[in-house]
Structure formats: structure tokens, C-alpha cells
Amino acid sequence: MKAALFDAKPYDIPGFDKYGALRGIEFKYYETKLNEDTVSLAQGADAVCVFVNDTVNAAVIDKLTEYGVKAVALRCAGYNNVDVEHAFGKIHVMRVPAYSPYAVAEHAMALLLTSVRRIHKAYIRTKDFNFSLNGLTGFNLHGKTVGVVGTGRIGRVFIDICRGFGMRVIAYDKFPGEGIDYVTLDELFAESDIISLHCPLTEETRHLVNRDSVAKMKKGVVIINTSRGALIDSEALLDGIKERKIGAACLDVYEEESDVFFRDFSGHIVEDDTLARLMTMPNVLVTSHQAFLTEEALDNIAAATVDNLTAFFGEGVCPNELCYRCGRIEECRRGRKEKCF
């Protein structure tokens, strides 16, 4: 079996080489992202392997089908960059639903602690032998109310971490679970000192944080996003920060990140004015979509992706296949025992 892996990074290759060799899958690595201009590179492949910023729209899907590609293997949990409806009947799409919820949840907490205790600022100061504490006053997390939007695997791990800090946890999810205090979104916005986003990006959740929702939030609220950038309206976030309504923003994702993240622009001028303005704010902390980046997660991603391909091409069905017909994509009318089509 041959698979074309797009948007390949040096840290991807060891795991995919290891597990691919074990299962007889030959991966060909391309640094470029998959899109309408690069899809021709997939010719001769049985499957393509893509990441969060690859574009798998209708035009790309049609070309992949024309080339005889049978499967799109996402090496991530999110699938908002794939037109799963257009893919139905043409090409099978599968994902890695859980590679390491601990990696993402722990990074969210790391961002929060770094921001509220000014650790990043202290690190820079002490490198210059400046040991003044002026301007480094933070606040305790103990006793604060954290609102968690999305209580899937990652959200639940983040909740456990917050409870360990003695925080009061409230949550919102369209599909509530057990053991969590659920409230409406408006109640979550109004009561939370800290809001952390752990939900998928859909048409329903796009710009979940907007001007209207920011207006409902507490003054000084801290917003964390380690899920998908477009959950937040960046202009509304900027306005909220400038109006002193938002006390801090901790962002591992950004809605226009595909043109910037995972690349080195240190010697260049970044043309994204919104991102540039956000990064000038002293209370905004940005990391470049690295919440998933642990040794354990990378190994799990490679293993699960190879397992998905092996199951699909070998057994004829993959338990992690996506199908728009099921309404909530995580569910399956066929019980994961048959192909979607």
C-alpha cells in the first residue's frame, strides 16, 4: 500500500516510518500542504494522509477520486477542513479521534498558569539578570470558576486538572455526560472567571466567542483556546482586550493559522494584521498549535493512522470512518461494522 503524507514535519516521519514498515505501508512525505494546486502529487497513491491545515474540499476530493485514491486518513481528531458530505460515495474519510487528551489538556493548563502567573515575562527578565517582581502579580486558581465548553475526552481531562487545583467547574456541551455541572452557554459566559474551549469546529460553533458573547462575560475573564481557531472571532477578541473586558487570552490556535503556523517567519514580515495586533498585546499568549506535540501523542497518532488504513484496506471497514449521514458524525448507524458506502 502507498500513502502520500502531506504537510509532513520532521517529527512526523519516525513514527510513520516505524508503524508503516510493520504494516507494509510505504509513506511518501511532502512538506507542502494538500490543496487544489498540490493534489496531483497524490497520483499513484492508494491513500492520502492529511493534517489540520490541509484542504480537502470538493475540488480536491474529485481529483483524488480521479486518481484512484481510495481513502483520506486524517492524523488528527478535527475534520472541519474536509468536505465529508461531498466525499460520501467517492472517497472514504477516517480520523484519529483520541491520540492523547492529556497532551492537549495539560497544554491548556500550562498556558493558563503561564499567563496568570506571568511566567513567560519572568523568564525573559531573569535572563537579563532582572530580578524585580514589579508587574508580575498574578492570581490564585483555587476557588475560581472555570467554564469548559466541550466535555469530550480532552475537556474531561482538563476538568480533572482544574478540580485538582480546587477550582469550581461548570460546563456546556450539546451532549451532556455524567458527573459534571452543566449550564447554558449564557450562564457559562456570565459566571466564569476562565473559559476554556474544547469543542469541535462546526457551523454551529464557528465564532462561538464573538462580540455578543464577550459582552456577557465577566470583566477580566481569561479565554483559552486549544481546539480550533475559528471558534473565536479574532476581531471581537481584540476589541474585548482593548476594552479591558477580556483580562487575558491563551491561544494555541488561530482562525487564519494555515498561512502562518508550523513555519518560521522570524526573518519576515507577517502580513496578517489581526495576528500581529494580537501578539502586541501584553496579556495575549500564543503558541503555534503545539498542544498535541508530545512524544506519546505523536506515537499514538502514527499508530492509530496506520491502524485505520490497515483496517480499511485489509478488513474492509474502519471504526474511525467519518460519514455525514449519521447526523452526529461520532455516531454510526451501521455500528462500525460496514463501510459508509
Cβ–Cβ under 8 Å, residues 167 and 195: no
How many residues can be counted in the chain? 341
- CA 31, CA 35: separation in Å to the nearest integer? 12
Task: Kindly list the strands in the beta sheet with 47-50, ordered across the sheet, starting from the edge strand earlier in the chain.
Answer: 26-29, 2-5, 47-50, 71-74, 92-94, 321-322
Cell digits for 29? 512525505
Active site residue 118: no
Rg (CA), the chain: 21
- Angle, CA of 77, 79 and 96, to the nearest 5°: 30
3-state secondary structure of 74: strand
3-state secondary structure of 27: strand
- CA 276, CA 261: separation in Å to the nearest integer? 13
Cell digits for 295? 512524544
Could you say which of 92, 95, 198, 257 is catalytic? 257
Active site residue 271: no
Q: What are the CA-CA distances from residue 319 to residues 16, 73, 88, 308, 334 (Å)?
A: 20, 12, 16, 8, 10
Active site residue 289: yes
Could you say which of 75, 153, 156, 228 is catalytic? 228
- CA 95, CA 39: separation in Å to the nearest integer? 19
Q: Which residues fall within 8 angstroms of residue 263, CB to CB, at 6 or more apart?
A: none
Q: For residue 120, what is the DSSP state? A: H
Could you say which of 92, 95, 198, 289 is catalytic? 289
CB atoms within 10 A of CB 114: 18
- CA 169, CA 188: separation in Å to the nearest integer? 10
- CA 318, CA 323: separation in Å to the nearest integer? 12
Nearest to 256 by CA among 279, 219, 217, 229: 229
Catalytically annotated residues: 228, 257, 289
